[in-house]
Structure 1
Amino acid sequence: MEGVSSNRNMSYSRWSYDSTLDDEGSNLRQQKLDRQRALLEQKQKKKRQEPLMVQSNVDGRSRARRTKQCEEQAPLVESYLSSNRSTIYHGISSSMNFDEEEDDEDEVSSSSSQLNSNTRPGSATSKKSCKEAASASTPPVSEPAIDVDDLEEFTLRPAPQGIAVKCRITRDKKGMDRGMYPTYYLHLEREDGKKVFLLAGRKRKKSKTSNYLISIDPTDLSRGGESFIGKLRSNLMGTKFTVYDSGQNPGKTTSSLEATNLRQELAAVCYETNVLGFKGPRKMSVIIPGMNMDHERVAICPRNDHESLLARWQNKSTESVIELHNKTPVWNDDTQSYVLNFHGRVTQASVKNFQIIHDNDPDYIVMQFGRVAEDVFTMDYNYPMCALQAFAIALSSFDSKLACE
Structure 2
Amino acid sequence: MSDQVVMHPQLNPPHFEHSLSDSDPEGDNEGQNETEAPVAPLNDMEENSEDDLHTVRVARPVPPIDYGPQPPLISTKELMNLAFRPAALNTRVACRIGRCRDGLDKIYPQYQLSIEHIHTGEVQAVMTARKKRKSQTSYYTISGIVHDSPESAGRLVELGKVRSNFLGTTFVIYSHGKNPMKKEGEAGKGELPIREEMGAVLYDPNILGFKGPRKMTILMHTLTRDGKRPEFRPTSESETLLSKYREGGSRDLLVLHNKSPQWNEETQSFVLNFSGRVTQASVKNFQIVHDNDLDYIVMQFGRVGPDHFTMDYKYPICLFQAFAIALTSFDAKLACE
Q: TM-score, normalised by structure 2?
A: 0.78
Work out the CA distance in 2 between the residues paired with 1:142 and 1:283. 29
Work out the CA distance in 1 between the residues paired with 2:64 and 2:83. 25
Work out the CA distance in 1 between the residues paired with 2:176 and 2:129. 14
- Using a 3 Å threshold, how does the CA distance of structure 1 residues 122 and 289 change in structure 2: closer, same or farther? closer
Structure of larger gyration radius: 1
Work out the CA distance in 2 between the residues paired with 1:284 and 1:141. 25
- Using a 3 Å threshold, how does the CA distance of structure 1 residues 197 and 141 change in structure 2: closer, same or farther? closer
Confirm or deny that 1:248 pairs with 2:178.
yes
Partner AA of 1:99 in structure 2 = S
Confirm or deny that 1:93 pairs with 2:23.
no
- Correspondence for 1:370 among 285, 290, 302: 302
**Larger RCO of the pair (alpha carbons < 8 Å, separation 6+):** 2
Q: Is the 8 A contact 1:366 1:381 kept in 2?
A: yes
- Correspondence for 1:159 among 87, 101, 111: 87
What is the deviation of 1:352? 0.4
Q: TM-score, normalised by structure 1?
A: 0.65
Q: Which structure features the higher share of strand residues? A: 2
**Superposition RMSD in Å:** 3.1
SS of 1:231 mapped into structure 2: strand
What is the deviation of 1:304? 1.5
Partner AA of 2:7 in structure 1 = L
- Using a 3 Å threshold, how does the CA distance of structure 1 residues 195 and 330 change in structure 2: closer, same or farther? same
- Correspondence for 1:211 among 121, 136, 139: 139
Work out the CA distance in 2 between the residues paired with 1:162 and 1:146. 17
What does residue 200 of structure 2 align with?
Answer: 268
- Correspondence for 1:324 among 256, 278, 300: 256
What is the deviation of 1:259? 9.3
Q: Which runs of 5+ in 1 are unaligned?
A: 1-68, 79-89, 107-120, 127-132, 219-224
Deviations 1:23-53 (A, max 9, x none): xxxxxxxxxxxxxxxxxxxxxxxxxxxxxxx
Q: Is the 8 A contact 1:100 1:363 kept in 2?
A: yes
**Bigger Cα displacement from structure 2, 269-278 vs 316-325:** 269-278
Work out the CA distance in 2 between the residues paired with 1:333 and 1:157. 42
Q: Which structure features the higher share of helix residues? A: 1
Deviations 1:345-378 (A, max 9, x none): 0000110000000000100000000000000000
SS of 1:365 mapped into structure 2: coil
Work out the CA distance in 1 between the residues paired with 2:309 and 2:284. 10
SS of 1:261 mapped into structure 2: coil
Deviations 1:107-159 (A, max 9, x none): xxxxxxxxxxxxxx9548x9xxxxxx89xx8xx99867665642232011111
Q: Is the 8 A contact 2:87 2:93 kept in 1?
A: yes
Partner AA of 1:306 in structure 2 = S
Partner AA of 2:140 in structure 1 = Y
SS of 2:298 mapped into structure 1: strand
- Using a 3 Å threshold, how does the CA distance of structure 1 residues 142 and 298 change in structure 2: closer, same or farther? closer
Partner AA of 1:308 in structure 2 = T
Q: How many residues align?
A: 290
Work out the CA distance in 1 between the residues paired with 2:178 and 2:115. 28
Work out the CA distance in 2 between the residues paired with 1:186 and 1:338. 27
Q: Is the 8 A contact 1:369 1:380 kept in 2?
A: yes
What does residue 350 of structure 1 align with?
Answer: 282
Work out the CA distance in 2 between the residues paired with 1:141 and 1:163. 5
Work out the CA distance in 2 between the residues paired with 1:350 and 1:299. 35
Q: Which runs of 5+ in 2 are unaligned?
A: 25-34, 36-54, 147-154
Partner AA of 1:188 in structure 2 = I
- Using a 3 Å threshold, how does the CA distance of structure 1 residues 275 and 101 change in structure 2: closer, same or farther? closer
